[in-house]
Structures are given as structure tokens and as C-alpha cells.
Amino acid sequence: MIKIGGLHKFSLIDFPSRISAVIFVQGCNLRCPYCHNRHLVLPEYFGYTIGVEEIFNFLESRKKMIEGVVISGGEPTIFEGLVDFIKRIKDLGYLVKLDTNGTNPELLKRLINEKLVDYIAMDIKASAGKYEYIAGSSVNMDKIRKSIEILLQSDIEYEFRTTLIKDLLTYNDIIKIGQMIKGAKRYALQNFVPSENLINKEIKSKTGFPQDERERLKKRLKNYVKEIILR
Ligand code: SF4
């Protein structure tokens, strides 16, 4: 059963070119220190959950106002019930975007094959050698590479994205990620912004990458990826 820990009823920024609602699942298999959603990741911070029928009553009532539903988290692909949940959303006529950390390539493939997702945003946490350090837990890199491959070979809309955090990641790490996703359509570099809800409070004093470094990365990464977005 999928556990839902939050709902944003209206967003203009979470689903490219679409008005959307965002559903946040509760639970994640990683522990990225810079994550802002500790209430969706760390069980000791979990709050209330929203019932599935409440979500569908809401979606039913907004069909004329919202085009897409973003499923974010937390990590949606840890829930076996995700497929049936998305099927119900698709039955209402919505486009679906999935935000994922890419640790479940089998499920990604199934969702794509069954045409249940219209857009996937996959986080690439770090260069391969630093992955577990940045993800804060053990990670099977074969699965991450498999998910990358699935997206590269799919015909759906997708983006890869990385949070730029100074001291933890370097310019060269990001270039290595560019090489890992070579041939991708889109790669978004999101600058870290500190907040009160970080998983690791010690990260609060860190910063994102300076603008000139981001611009240099953008130029360099054009060797590997068609479109680079700075966020
Ligand atoms: S940023 Fe990391 S810890 Fe937070 S939800 Fe995403 S994968 Fe999980």
C-alpha cells in the first residue's frame, strides 16, 4: 500500500509546461544529507498520512483545472502499490510525472512499457565513486546505471538532475556524471539551498556552486547532454 505524506494542490513548476498537483509519498530508501524532506524520509519525523480515497476525491474534483499529477517523495518506487495507484490516476485522464532516485529500474521499465508515466525526473546523486557518501546509504550502482540506460532508450520525456552542493561535490564530479548520462536529452543542475528541515543539520552551513562555476559546467556538459538547465 502506498503511503502519502503530503499533497500540493496546485503547482506551475513541478511538471514542465503543465499545471499539476504534487503527491508526496512517505518513506525513502536513501538518506541524502541535503534532503529537505526529512518528514518524508526519517520515520521519527513522519507526520499524518493522507488516505488514498481522499487523494482520488480531490483529483476527481480538479479534472478541469489540473493537467498533470507529480508523484514525488520520499521515493515512490519503494511501494509495490505504485503501479495500481498510477493506473487509477491515468484512468482519470491525467498526465503523470514521476520523481525518482533511480534505485528501482525494474519498476521504471514496467511503468514506461505500460505507458503509465509521461515524464520521469531521475536524481543522479554523485559520480559513481561518491554515490553512497552523498546518498547516505548503500546503493547498488548497477541499478542506477540500469535506470539511466532505461531512460536514455525510452521515448518518454525525462530529465536527470543533480543537487550541486559545495565541498561534497566538485566540478569534476559533475563532469563524470555528464559522462555517465552521455546522450541524455536534459540535465538539470539544482543549486543547494539550506533549510531548517535537512536530514543532516550540519549541512546547513554549506552552499551551492557559484554562478560562474555553474556557467562553466553548463558549457562543458554540452559535450554530453543536449539541454542543460540551471536551477
Ligand atoms: S533527496 Fe534523497 S533522501 Fe530525500 S527523498 Fe530524495 S532520495 Fe530520498
Substitution site in 22, 23, 25, 28 for ligand 1 pocket (most atoms within 8 Å of beta carbon): 28
CB 187 within 8 A of CB 159: yes
Nearest Cα residue to atom 2 of ligand 1: 32
**Residue 124, all three cell numbers:** 543522479
Residue 51 has pLDDT above 90, yes or no: yes
How large is the average pLDDT for residues 123-128?
97
**Residue 205, all three cell numbers:** 552551513
**36 CA distance to ligand 1 middle (Å):** 8
Q: Which residues line ligand 1 (CB under 6 A)?
A: 28, 30-32, 35, 37, 41, 73-75, 101
Residue 2 has pLDDT above 90, yes or no: yes
Q: pLDDT for 130-172, tens place per residue?
A: 999 999 999 999 999 999 999 999 999 999 999 999 999 999 9
Structural domains in the chain, CATH included, are 4-230 (3.20.20.70)
Res 201: pLDDT: 87
Burial of 71 (0-12, 13-18, 19+ CB in 10 A): buried
Q: pLDDT for 10-41, tens place per residue?
A: 999 999 999 999 999 999 999 999 999 999 99
